[in-house]
Amino acid sequence: MTLERELVDIVGRDQVLTDPGLRAPYESDWTRRWSGSARAVVRPADTGQVAAVLRSCATYGAPVVTQGGNTGLVGGSVPRCTGQVVLSTARLQRLQSGDHAVVAGAGVTIGRLQVHARAIGLAYGVDLASRDTATVGGTVATDAGGIRVVRYGRTRAQVRGLEVVLADGSLLSDLERPGGADAGPDLLGLFVGSEGAFGVVTAARLRLVPRPPPGTTVLVGCPDVDAARALVPADGVRAAELMTGDGIDLVCRTTGLRRPLRRTWPVVLLLETDQVPDLPDDADAVVDARVWELRERHTEAIATLGVVHKLDVALPLHQLATFLADLPALVAPHRAVLFGHLAVGGLHVNVVGPAAGDETVDRAVLERVAALGGSIAAEHGFGIAKSGLMHLVRSREEIDLLRRVKHALDPAGQLNPGVLVP
């Protein structure tokens, strides 16, 4: 018996992809910075098959990289070295609702979840531009934030229960205990943000929120980031997204969308609020929900510039201006296109210019972020890109504990090697 034969017995011949052409879409990160060739891509249909796949991979000593929609930006869900099996969660599609929550399979996209919630008069609190591809499993594994984070929090705040398969195929689940957690440590909570390194998340119970009535969306040009911050009201904020005039120009050039403002501002704020916000009389602003497209098409527009170094960081709000002033020198002679989730200090620093494998600029930017008290992996995960730099933001004791937890859950280092625990 070979591993491939066992996998075929578990999931069926059509769901074990070994042909290079069929494997290719699973082997390269969205950024094209990380790729590798997989021994096989396997697509289990349910939790029992996931457990059997993991048991077989453990028997044959084949490392497993779990992949959801492959929208990751830090190399955390594609193979890096030969012999790795990609476990795709694409077919884990169950979706049942009850009591202001859903139980969703890991492969359900955020878009499908939103449509499902809307049909019953509710909404899911995490939303993001890649909603039609990004999955429940991937967003749980990275503790994704997204554009509604200011109102509803990150994915962790939505999770009411999880089903997880460990490296040895054993199953952990509290989905059958919807009544709420008992006292004691939140053990399943460990898997939120664990990036496939502790276990494979196969399903989650997620809270749904009341669907808000229509709000107001405005796009407004600002001289600097502090001026933009001053326009964000204390209450009723649904989204406060930061862009730059240069970024908007790039989006307009590459997508054909119309330029929304009279001039190119250093900073552009997209604000969605419950009530119409107070703006200065002479503000260069448009009130129109369609401006969301300018924000949501940033990632695709920036990708047209070449291989992008994605530095997903967050800063204390009072340090944003200092960081933005320092940034040009940190990335010189290259260029950074910036956008992000202003209300929570989240910034997506997209550096274009350095070769894919050159990490000099990445390091300089992330070190500066850490020195300012920020987070170097705000919502995309540490992945391959940043796991080696975790010491910038976590203490020696925390990293040591992380290693011990990893060892307890996955003693052979079978799951997503190199991620979280380098």
Residue ranges that bind ligand 2HG, judged by CB under 6 A: 128-129, 299, 310, 348, 350
**Cβ at position 158, least distance to ligand 2HG in Å:** 17
Closer residue to ligand 2HG (CB): 218 or 294: 294
Closer residue to ligand 2HG (CB): 137 or 169: 137
**Cβ at position 339, least distance to ligand 2HG in Å:** 7
Q: How far is CA 229 from the centre of its chain?
A: 24
**Cβ at position 87, least distance to ligand 2HG in Å:** 24
Q: Which of 217, 229, 388, 231 is nearest to 324 (CA)?
A: 229
Q: What is the spatial distance between Cα 40 and Cα 422, in angstroms, rounded to a whole number?
A: 23
Closer residue to ligand 2HG (CB): 83 or 153: 153
Closer residue to ligand 2HG (CB): 155 or 299: 299
**Cβ at position 138, least distance to ligand 2HG in Å:** 12
Nearest 5°: the CA angle 415, 417, 419 is 105
The crossing angle, in degrees rounded to 10, of helices 47-60 and 3-11 is: 170
In contact, 210 and 124? CB cutoff 8 Å = no
**Cβ at position 104, least distance to ligand 2HG in Å:** 20
Residue with tokens 């039609």: 132
**Cβ at position 422, least distance to ligand 2HG in Å:** 22
Q: Would you say the C-alpha torsion 259, 380, 149, 123 has a positive or negative sign?
A: positive
Closer residue to ligand 2HG (CB): 58 or 385: 385
Closer residue to ligand 2HG (CB): 51 or 330: 330
Closer residue to ligand 2HG (CB): 129 or 268: 129
Closer residue to ligand 2HG (CB): 43 or 295: 295
**Cβ at position 32, least distance to ligand 2HG in Å:** 13
Q: Which of 65, 152, 182 is nearest to 341 (CA)?
A: 152
Closer residue to ligand 2HG (CB): 241 or 410: 241
Return all residues near 147 (Cβ < 8 A) that are at least 6 apart: 127, 128, 129, 239, 241, 295, 341
In contact, 342 and 242? CB cutoff 8 Å = yes
Tokens of 303: 């990708």
Tokens of 164: 């997880």
Interior/surface letters 114-143, b for 16+ CB within 10 angstroms, e for the rest:
bebbeeeebbbbbbbbbbebbbbbbbbbbb
**Cβ at position 284, least distance to ligand 2HG in Å:** 24
- How many other C-beta atoms lie within 10 A of the C-beta of residue 26? 23
In contact, 113 and 421? CB cutoff 8 Å = no
Q: What is the spatial distance between Cα 358 and Cα 312, in angstroms, rounded to a whole number?
A: 17
Closer residue to ligand 2HG (CB): 29 or 174: 29
**Cβ at position 350, least distance to ligand 2HG in Å:** 5
Q: What is the spatial distance between Cα 322 and Cα 325, in angstroms, rounded to a whole number?
A: 5
**Cβ at position 298, least distance to ligand 2HG in Å:** 6
Tokens of 127: 């939303």
